[in-house]
Structure formats: C-alpha cells, structure tokens
Structure 1
Amino acid sequence: MFTTCDGESHLLPRNSRTPYASNTFPVENYPWYCSDSGVFHQGAPLNPAGNASAHTYWSVYTDPSNPFSHTGFNGNCQFPQITRGGLYDSWQHGRDLWDVYHYLLSFLPSIDPLSVMEFRVTNNVITSHVASMLIAGMFSSENPPQTLPKGPLPIKVQPPSIDSLEPRYPCPASAALLSLYGPGSNASSWLAHLAASRPLFAALDSISGVPSDDAASNTDDEWHRSWDHYFDNLSARLCDAKRLPCDKKGKCVTDSQAAAVFRLGQHEYSRLWRAAPESLPAAAAGYGVWVAELAAPIRDIVAATAAAANRRGGEVKPRVRYRHNVAHDGSVARLLALLQVDVMVWPGMGAEVVFEVYTNRRKEVSGAAAAAVYVRVLWGGRVLRSSHPDLGALDMLDARVLLAYLDGLVGRGASKVPGMCGLQ
C-alpha cells in the first residue's frame, strides 16, 4: 500500500498562444487582437524591499508616422503571447493540480505549502506567463484554505546560455546528429517525405503568400524544410477558435488540409524523436542535463528512505516535495525520446509529463520493503509506456531501475553529457 507521494516533478509545455512571428504569413487576412490579456513587465527592489513598483504591461501599437509596415497579423498582440484562453487554461490546470495533490492525495500541506514547492521556467517569457496563472489557480480563493500570498514569488530560471530545461546549453554533437536525418538534412528519407507532401505545400503557399519552394532539395527554406511553420500557424488559430486563413480572392485553407498538416507534423516528430536510430543519442546529449537534474532528488529520496529503514523509524520528508517545470514542445519531445516512449506524438499545448515518487509508510513493514521507493510516470494523464524492456509501463517501477537507466544514458550529475556533446 502506498499512502502518498514523497516527490513530484512536472514538465508542462506552454498553453494556447499566438504563433511565433516567424510562423505568421507575409500578409494575414484578418487581425489578431489581445486586448483581453496583458503581457506584464515590471521590476521592483527586493531584499530589502524599497519603493513600490507600478503594475505595467505592454500595449502594442503602430504609430501612423511610422512608414514601415510589419509582416503577419495586424492587431495588438505579441507574437508569441499566451492568449486569454491559454491563461484561463493555465489557471484551471493549477486548480486541478491542487485538487489532486492536496485534497485527493493529501500530498501538499495546508500550512505554508509554497515552502515545499518550486516552479521553474525557461528564458522564453511565455513560460512565465503560464506559470503565474498556474500558481494563481493552485492558490485561488476557490481552493480554501489557501489563497495566493501577497508578496512576490520566486520562479527559478537558469542562465540562457546553459539552460537545461528549454534546452539551450551548448551541444554541437546533438545538433549535428539531428542535421543528419531531420529538417535541413540531405537524408533521402527526409527529402522523400518532403517531396511526397509537395502538392500540399504548393496549395498552402498559394493561399498564404509564402514564397514557393521550387527546388526539391532546398534545405535552407524554413517554411519548406519541415511542417513546423505551417503546423504552428494553423494550430495556434484553431486553439484560439479562429477561422482558417484565406487569400484575397476568398480561397481558404480547408479542414482536411489543416488535418493533413497536423498528421504530417505528427509523422515528423515521431521520426525525429523515436523512429530514427539517431534520436536517442541526440536526445540524451541535448537533454541529458535536465534529466540528471530530475534524477538527483529521486536519488536523494532513495538514500533517505534506506537510511530511515535502517534506523527502523522516521518519515522521509524532502525539503522540496513538488517541482513544476514549464517548458516547450521540444523539451517534452526530448524527454519522451529519452524514456523511449512507445508511441511518440507532437506534444500539444498543455501536454504534461509527471514523475511521482512513492514510498511505503506502513509501520508493520520493515527491511527491504521499508526501503523500497517506486516511481510512476504519467504522460497525458495516463501511465507512460516505454518500449525499453527495463522500463515498460512506468507504474510503480522500482526507482533504482529508473535511476540505473538514466545514469547509464547521461551519467550521475550529467557527467557523460559534455563528452556526448563533443565538448571534451
């Protein structure tokens, strides 16, 4: 019987948002307004506090005296920006997490829960927007007895040049592996995939105004080296309940064309992060530092539980019991590749991987059973299934098995990663 979790780590991509500016069409046929949400930017004295700071947000506008026009959508959004719907989804997700880990599992305490919780983001500001709403949802007035603390809350972020969560640390070997078989490569299988989908590219180019890719082997054209740009553009619209785009003559992208783009995107992610033989070493090198950071607190719980069992008493209570990381689809894809997930998909907005660590707290249990630590990994709300025989269904898996697997790939403290990245 496992009465509660002893550790919790979440990896969550950002929620519904506007597309990246690089993924917008040269001329969009309707505007996109974000007057119902704000991108807040402010600084304030801290430790010790000083003069109060104004609560300011960016108000996007174009001055009539500015002779230059911008590409993409007219309106007042940042690209990217979490939409109002995405902000609400983040808040609701936080509320749901509190319902599960406080009320259902009695894992997060009623008194000062933030003292045992950590939140982390990447250097992309949209992850901070998601985190701020998620935290507010967890500590909303609708979740008594907790309400959001009045003071500022720290959110962890690593320096941009070595951030392991996004990831952005230098790893030329991982990038080199991806260049052998993925976007921009001359791999025959990738070029054949692009050639087979060329009619759809041509149909969408005629509507979007994106310059057509006339050369079948043109690997420098960002819009036609993969389906990433069209996928991001169309999915962002549909996630925000916007209509599919049309050209000036009224010819529009059809539902079936959009569905084909999404299928092709799923195919590409499956190939990039699971099907290709190079995908595992590319992910292990490119995301191994974050995986080592994930393994460290699990290892600490294993050691502390064994020590408590030898003392025949004492409850293991790690200082930080809940860790929440807000990252990106590429972050989640690399983690799924590292775990050799059975079925790879393009991680959607709001998709989540959860690591739960369990110990046996029944007083009558002693010896090896008392020292046992187990891990459950959830992907999309269900137990993650790995194709690796040592992992299988990650449902109450012996934590030592998972640690041995991760250590074998990246080393304790990511000791193997610099060499895998070609930096040693």
Structure 2
Amino acid sequence: MKTVYEGILEMLTFFLSLLLPGASLAAVDSFYPPLNHTTYITNASLGTYGGVFHAPSDKASPTGDSVYNYCTMPHPHVDTYSLPAPVRNGSVDAKLVYLEYVQRHQRRTPYNILPGGENQEYNCDTIHPHLFASPSSGSPAPAQVYGQAYTDPSNPFLYLSNYVNGTCQYPQLTIGGYLDGVQHGRDLHELYSKKLNLIPSTLTQATKDKVWFRSSSAALTQGSAGAVLRGLWPTYTGPLPLHQQPASIDSINRGFSCPKRDTLLDRIQSTTEWDEHIAVTEPLRTKLADMFNASSDAAWMDTWDHFADNFQGRLCNGYELPCSLHDTSACVSDSQAEEVFRAGDWMYNYWWRKNPDVREYIQVIEGLFISELVRKFEAVQKGETGVVYSHTFAHDGDIAPLLGAMGIRALRWPGMGSNVAFEVWETSTHEFFARVLYSGRTIETVHGVLEWIPLGRLIEILSVFVPDDIVALCNS
C-alpha cells in the first residue's frame, strides 16, 4: 500500500510530466535537466533546476560535488572521488598513467555591459592583474607592474558610452575567481598527486617534463592558470611556461578565421525549433529590452548570451540584479533571471547537441583542438610521450563543443571553472582504458556512462568531430 507521501509525489510527478516531458520531482539531477523542449524555459516552477547562481564577492565559493554551480563548477575532489568501478571492485589491476584536463577560466566580471547603462559600480581593487615581461635568463628582473583601471572625468567618451564606473576591466578575473582557482588547484593536488600519485608532488627540473600547460591568449585564462597552478604547487618559486598558440590561428577560443561558422550558425538559428524558443520567450525579451534600451541591438536580442552573461557576472560576484537607470523601480526579478538562465541552458543544448548541423558545427569550432587531444591519446597508447599531466585553460565556447562531441546526455551552459578530466588507465596486461569526468562526475552520454571504456573507443567517439580538411571546410 502506498503512503500518503508516495501518493502525493506520484500525482505531482504526473502533473509535472504534462508540463515538462521527461522531468521528475523524485530525482532532479541538476546536471542533466530535460532540455529537449521549450517548456523547460517557460516553466517558472523549475526555478534554477537545482543549480546555484550566487557566490560571495571576496572569497572562494563552496561547491557541492553533485550540484550544478554556474559560479564555481565542481571539480575532482579527494572526498568525493571514487576509482573506476573495475579497479574499485578488484576485477582489474590497473593504474592511472595520464590525465588530460581541460577547464574554463574561473569567475569574472561580465563581457557585456547593458546598453542602457549599469546602476552599480564594479570594483576590483582587491586583485592585481600583472603586466610585465622578463628575459629568459631572469636578469635583469622586471618591475612587477599591474593594471589598475580608472576613468578620467575629462574624457568625453566616458559620457557617450555605456562604460561602468569602478575599478574593473570587462571582463577580468575577480578576487573570488582567483581564490576559486587556488582551491581548484589544491584539490587537484590532494587527489591526483597525493592519493593517485600521478601529478608530481613538487616541480623540479626533472619533473617539469612530465607536465604541460596551455591557455588561450586571453588574460582570463592566463590569470586562472596562475591561480590553479599556485594551488597545485604552493611552494614553487620559479617561472612556468604556459603554452599559447598565436591568437590569429589558435585552435581554442575560435582563434582562426572560419567563414563557415557564420553560415552554419545562421542555419542553426533559422530552424523551427529555434523559432519556437524565440516565440515562447518573446514576453521576457520585450520586458528586458524596454528596461535596458536593448530593442535595437541585435547582439542582445538574437540570443540569450548577453543578458545571461550580464546577470551571471553580477550574481557570481556578490552584486545584485540590475535596475533601469531611467526607472529605478524597474529591476530584474529573480524569476526573470532564472528564465534567462534556463533559456541559456536550452540554447547551449541546441547549439551543441540537438541542431541538425551539430557535427559540422563542432568541427569548425573545436575540431582542431579535438584532433590535438586525439593525437595525445594515441601517443599515450604507443608509449611515445613522457607527459603524464596536461592542463588546458580555455573558455565555455571550448568546453561546450567538447562535451557535445562526447554526446553528453544534456548540456547546461558550462559554468565558471567547468572541467573535463580524461583519465587514461593502463592494466597489468598493458591495455589502455579511459574514464571521463565532467566537473568531477563520470559523464553520462548517448554512448553510455564513460566510466571504463577502451581508450581506442574514446578516440573513435572524438574522431568523428575531427575535420578531414579544416581549411577547405571553413571556406566551403
């Protein structure tokens, strides 16, 4: 016989299924919401779907290992990590031999300032973005200058633009983001160095050859790298190379020119599904446009990128949601922001998982970087590399197509510090297996849960998104 609670839960689940096919009140997984229908966007009762969109301004964010936290996504942690099932249950004798780690930068100020102006100042006095060069010999050592944003009241463009008073550049790493990065590195050290004995516990001239670091040319990824690597090796005092490809041909952060990207995006954003999401969000779009003078700005009206970025940048750094400068009583409500965030999730899932051109779109955005990952995994298989730990500091526009290439079951907007850990394990019989973690959790995909698969199978999954001729594809 059912209890009263079970009966109520069954009824609520039934009614929710009518409103939002695929949803379940019994087990909401904040990482994998039902994103295949636009009712996910418009159902206000869903709120943040278990996600977190707030963080303190001047300290590291607490994270839960099972909760989607846009401000500070979870990462592998010694307290919540478990060995791959076959290793854990003793059916396989294997050791971790390689870690490929790709992460988004930590939290920051917004890229996008509201067209009607901002009603709050952003202050970054508690973090110093350093700007100096040094000879490879180390001598003479440079003065450690840092950037300090300011405005001159005699500059007439200050009053013609939508510049925000304060002491920040837009975007820039915040002190909270820096501290998140240090904690991120500490946690990686506790797990992959102390517990699993893969990452060198200290960096010496000999162990430096076992690690390799890369970032985009953006200050955000460089600053995040400095924070995370400090957490990994708190007593290290020397310089470290952070590899970067030339910005104009970079295989991450859309560095190289590719006209095909725009062609495909226009096609993707002309489908019936895209038009439906535009139609159902029209009331919210109109309210926000009126509030912030955005109706004539296509960059704000054509996608949810700008509004979501602005609201996320505020809430993730201890600020309030914005109000109109022309009507101070007109402010963005929590429910409006939550709908923007749900619309952003739907948008990312459509871009990287569900649109008809998704394979080719991933190829022109991230195919070159995916090909680099494939070559690294092949080198591990063949015993042709001495590197055991490679870490790339990238952007949400890199994490999302990478997750799409693996066929993640549902893709929410990858939050700050979101990360993909490719673990390669070698058995006592010299077979190679892979386990893939997304923000500390074994990733769930259309290929199944990637808990323990032959490394060759992971290479096959990814290779579908490696273009045969990226130059020809981009110009087709």
TM-score by length of 2: 0.76
Residues 167-186 of structure 1: pairs in structure 2 closer than 5 A: 167-182=254-269, 186=270
> How many residue pairs end up in the alignment?
378
Corresponding residue for residue 417 of structure 1: 470
1:7 aligned onto 2:66: no
Corresponding residue for residue 49 of structure 1: 138
Aligned partners of 2:370 and 2:192: how far apart in 1? 23
Corresponding residue for residue 394 of structure 2: 327
Aligned partners of 2:124 and 2:200: how far apart in 1? 37
Residues 23-422 of structure 1: pairs in structure 2 closer than 5 A: 23-46=113-136, 48-69=137-158, 70-111=161-202, 112=204, 113-140=207-234, 147-148=235-236, 150-182=237-269, 186-207=270-291, 209-213=292-296, 221-247=298-324, 248-304=327-383, 318-361=385-428, 370-388=429-447, 392-410=448-466, 415-422=468-475
Question: Following TM superposition, by how much is the alpha carbon of 1:49 offset from its aligned partner in structure 2, in angstroms?
Answer: 3.4
Cα deviation, 1:182-225, whole Å, max 9, x if unaligned, reads: 3xxx4343233223212112222233x22325xxxxxx711000
Q: Which amino acid aligns with 2:308?
A: F
- SS at 1:119's partner residue? strand
Q: Which amino acid aligns with 1:139?
A: W
Aligned partners of 2:146 and 2:293: how far apart in 1? 32
Aligned partners of 1:267 and 1:49: how far apart in 2? 49
Aligned partners of 2:274 and 2:370: how far apart in 1? 29
Aligned partners of 1:130 and 1:274: how far apart in 2? 28
Question: Following TM superposition, by how much is the alpha carbon of 1:418 offset from its aligned partner in structure 2, in angstroms?
Answer: 3.3
- SS at 1:157's partner residue? coil
Q: Which amino acid aligns with 1:169?
A: F
Q: Which amino acid aligns with 2:474?
A: C
User: Structure 1 pair 344/194, CA: closer, same or farther in 2 (3 Å)?
Assistant: same
Question: Following TM superposition, by how much is the alpha carbon of 1:415 offset from its aligned partner in structure 2, in angstroms?
Answer: 4.2
User: Structure 1 pair 357/246, CA: closer, same or farther in 2 (3 Å)?
Assistant: same
Worse-matched range after superposition: 65-74 or 270-279 = 65-74
- SS at 1:292's partner residue? helix
Gaps of 5+ in 1: 141-146, 214-219, 305-316, 362-369
Question: Following TM superposition, by how much is the alpha carbon of 1:30 offset from its aligned partner in structure 2, in angstroms?
Answer: 1.4
Q: Which amino acid aligns with 2:180?
A: D
User: Structure 1 pair 124/24, CA: closer, same or farther in 2 (3 Å)?
Assistant: farther
Aligned partners of 1:59 and 1:408: how far apart in 2? 46
Cα deviation, 1:48-71, whole Å, max 9, x if unaligned, reads: 333110011111111233233141
Q: Which amino acid aligns with 1:61?
A: Y
Corresponding residue for residue 78 of structure 2: none
Aligned partners of 2:364 and 2:119: how far apart in 1? 42
Aligned partners of 1:406 and 1:416: how far apart in 2? 16
Aligned partners of 1:295 and 1:157: how far apart in 2? 19
Question: Following TM superposition, by how much is the alpha carbon of 1:15 offset from its aligned partner in structure 2, in angstroms?
Answer: 1.2
Corresponding residue for residue 313 of structure 1: none
Aligned partners of 2:150 and 2:266: how far apart in 1? 39
Gaps of 5+ in 2: 1-91
Q: Which amino acid aligns with 2:261?
A: S
Contact 2:113/2:162, CA 8 A, preserved across alignment: no
Corresponding residue for residue 367 of structure 1: none
- SS at 1:6's partner residue? strand
Question: Following TM superposition, by how much is the alpha carbon of 1:3 offset from its aligned partner in structure 2, in angstroms?
Answer: 4.2
Question: Following TM superposition, by how much is the alpha carbon of 1:158 offset from its aligned partner in structure 2, in angstroms?
Answer: 0.3
Corresponding residue for residue 87 of structure 2: none
Aligned partners of 1:222 and 1:419: how far apart in 2? 29
Aligned partners of 2:195 and 2:156: how far apart in 1? 58
